[in-house]
Amino acid sequence: MIMGGNVHFHDQSPHATRAALRDELLAGLRATPKSVSPKLLYDRRGSALFDRICEQPEYYPTRTEEGILTESVTAIAEVGGTRRR
């Protein structure tokens, strides 16, 4: 989260270091198009709330995306090849 010109990190991963999170944020801001990982935007409470929302029967996007990816992984790999960016 960027606030008042300062960068405040909400570390959701116990294994992530502040330097790694900073590097990830800076890489995203230097990229074209620019991006910021959602994990850098939520504090612990917001992240826990979002997790609970995703578990509700009414919230289907996560399960739908997972199902599509699970069913289509071979086709996606064939189209995408093994190239790395």
Residue 85 domain-assigned (yes or no): no
Which residue range(s) make up the domain with 71?
2-80
HSE-CB at 25 with a 13 A cutoff on CA atoms is: 19
Residue 11 domain-assigned (yes or no): yes
Residue 48 domain-assigned (yes or no): yes
Span 42-57, pLDDT tens digits: 888 988 898 899 889 8
How many residues can be counted in the chain?
85
Contacts of 34 (CB under 8 A, 6+ apart): 28
What is the sign, positive or negative, of the torsion defined by CA atoms of 9, 12, 14, 15?
negative
What total number of domains does the chain contain?
1
Contacts of 22 (CB under 8 A, 6+ apart): 7, 9
In the prediction, which pLDDT does 81 show? 72
Residue 52 domain-assigned (yes or no): yes
In the prediction, which pLDDT does 15 show? 54
Instruction: Categorize the per-residue pLDDT at 84 as very low, low, confident or very high, splitting at 50, 70 and 90.
Output: low
